[in-house]
Amino acid sequence: MAIERRCFAVDLNDDAEMIAAYRRWHEPGGPPAAVTAAIRADGVVSLQIWQVADRMFMIMEQDSERAPDPEAKKARDADNPEVAEWDRMMAGFQKSLPSVPDQTWVEMERIYDLADQP
């Protein structure tokens, strides 16, 4: 198994009530079981979402040998009514980062690793 860490960012609509609702949807048992199953089926072994104000940061560790092609994943998720509904509902809370219009959960680039330092 080859584990790859990937990190993503998204902004939420800057509304305290909407942010609170988004957080409630992500409490244990909040996401539908089909969503959790789809994430695990993609080889994701760990996934955490962190928050500061209206910015969300996701840390995902994934078995790169089981990671699907992005287009195949998109099609499979669209064909799963529960996953598609979850994505639609979550999109109502999210907004694009200012530098990347029309996209949510933008993958970030690692620029520093303590392990690489002398």
Predicted confidence (pLDDT) per residue in 9-44, tens digit: 999 999 999 999 999 999 999 999 999 999 999 999
The token pair at 11 is 């902004």
pLDDT at 69 over 90: no
What pLDDT is stored for residue 65 in this prediction? 87
What pLDDT is stored for residue 6 in this prediction? 95
The token pair at 68 is 């699907």
Mean pLDDT, residues 51-72 taken together: 92
Radius of gyration of the chain (CA): 15
Domains of the chain: 3-95 (3.30.70.100)
DSSP string for residues in the chain: --EEEEEEEEEE-S-HHHHHHHHHHTSTT-S-HHHHHHHHHTTEEEEEEEEETTEEEEEEEEETTTPPPHHHHHHHHHHSHHHHHHHHHHHTTEE--TTSTT-SSEEP-----GGG--
pLDDT at 72 over 90: no
Q: What is the pLDDT of residues 74-107, one digit of tens each?
A: 899 999 999 999 999 999 999 999 999 889 999 9
